[in-house]
């Protein structure tokens, strides 16, 4: 990017004004277009790209923050998510990728996320998903949306921005977050840190796997992936990874929860179960959007008895709340196992909250306790 272009784009970018316009459609009919100029959108890409490159490719974050899975151009759901969890800077956020494609408003979705990244660079974080890749979003809708509303050159500007997104995050040294899953090439976190940006997503290797791989309850070790890209991995792989790196959880997105599996998903969770929490995708079930809330704290947490609570590894409790009738959103809670004193005093407000109301594919619990 030429310095003159960068200076011009930044000069024409008023982030506060753009955020205000993007939020004005709250309460309007779903799908209402937000008017943005090409210069504003280009400025978002250029400035956020600069911020992404100034921060590590493997983010090291601290609680509290909320973790969110795939949005896929569902702008109304993104707004509903913020209404549910708090608009920045009321809450800190980590998004796990797949912001564009499939939905009808990828531009509004990615522009609001980039605007918040620019406005709150130390409180709002975006990881790369497999759809933040030119060869994928060229096919699944984002390219066509950019071409229809602006031009192909702007799509290429987004590609330059996406090529600089961070790949993974570690929260409180205990929770590993990425879009897809593990990789046989990931033996050390240094391997992630050595990935140079900007970079496209290769067809094989570590970066590809972090964005594309999937857990599989029926696999031991590594298996073939039905996607035709990357691998599947079993509970044994997850257990070894967590033990090797002294981690408690893997938090990921990337997969759909099938309707037939919703009721049974929790009975499979348990120590070393190796199965990830995967709420349904909004794009396929807009009236049954389900989100997740992950709460990690140095203080132990307590919850009243509930038939929806099951024990994953010993120090984690998993709870599914009923879907809210007004927002059609539910949540799942992960928290540390309570002790007697905490049961008397009630839950602590400190810690990590990862909420994904209206989120399509999210959370992988400890030992990747999978609720498929």
Cα(253)–Cα(354) distance, integer angstroms: 12
**Residues designated as active site:** 131
Residues 6+ apart with CB under 8 A from 344: none
DSSP string across 7-42 = HHHHHT--HHHHHHHHHTTTTSPTTPPPP--HHHHH
Return the bridge partners of 334, or none: 294, 318
Cα(29)–Cα(295) distance, integer angstroms: 33
Token pair of 213 as six digits:
């791989």
SS3 content of the chain, % helix, strand, coil (to 5): 35, 15, 50
Query: What phi and psi values does residue 334 have, to the nearest 5 degrees?
Result: -115, 130
Residues 6+ apart with CB under 8 A from 289: 77, 80, 280, 282, 328, 329, 357, 358, 359
Q: What angle do CA 192, 193, 199 make, to 5 degrees?
A: 75
DSSP string across 299-316 = S-------TT-EESSTTE
Cα–Cα separations (whole angstroms), residue 200 to 144, 161, 366: 20, 11, 30
């Amino acid at each position: 990017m030429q310095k003159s272009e960068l200076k011009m784009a930044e000069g024409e970018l008023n982030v506060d004004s753009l955020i205000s316009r993007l939020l004005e459609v709250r309460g309007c009919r779903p799908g209402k277009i937000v008017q943005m100029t090409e210069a504003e959108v280009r400025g978002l890409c250029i400035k956020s790209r600069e911020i992404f490159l100034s921060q590590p490719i493997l983010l090291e974050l601290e609680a509290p923050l909320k973790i969110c899975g795939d949005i896929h151009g569902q702008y109304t759901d993104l707004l509903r998510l913020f209404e549910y969890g708090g608009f920045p800077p009321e809450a800190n956020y980590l998004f796990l990728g797949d912001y564009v494609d499939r939905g009808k408003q990828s531009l509004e979705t990615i522009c609001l996320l980039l605007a918040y990244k620019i406005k709150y660079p130390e409180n709002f974080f975006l990881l790369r998903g497999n759809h933040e890749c030119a060869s994928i979003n060229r096919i699944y809708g984002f390219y066509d949306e950019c071409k229809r509303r602006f031009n192909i050159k702007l799509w290429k500007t987004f590609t330059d921005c996406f090529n600089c997104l961070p790949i993974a995050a570690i929260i409180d040294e205990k929770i590993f977050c990425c879009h897809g899953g593990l990789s046989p090439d990931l033996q050390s976190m240094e391997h992630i840190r050595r990935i140079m940006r900007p970079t496209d997503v290769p067809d094989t290797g570590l970066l590809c796997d972090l964005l594309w791989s999937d857990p599989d309850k029926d696999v031991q070790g590594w298996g073939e992936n039905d996607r035709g890209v990357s691998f599947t991995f079993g509970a044994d792989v997850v257990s070894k990874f967590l033990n090797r790196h002294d981690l408690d959880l893997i938090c990921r997105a990337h997969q759909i929860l099938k309707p037939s599996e919703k009721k049974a998903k929790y009975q499979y969770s348990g120590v070393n179960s190796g199965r990830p929490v995967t709420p349904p995708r909004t794009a396929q079930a807009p009236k049954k959007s389900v989100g997740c809330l992950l709460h990690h704290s140095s203080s132990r947490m307590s919850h009243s008895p509930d038939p929806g609570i099951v024990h994953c590894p010993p120090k984690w409790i998993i709870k599914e709340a009923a879907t809210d009738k007004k927002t059609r959103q539910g949540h799942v809670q992960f928290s540390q196992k309570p002790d007697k004193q905490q049961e008397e005093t009630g839950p602590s407000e400190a810690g990590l909250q990862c909420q994904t109301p209206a989120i399509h594919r999210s959370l992988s619990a400890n030992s990747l306790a999978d609720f498929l």
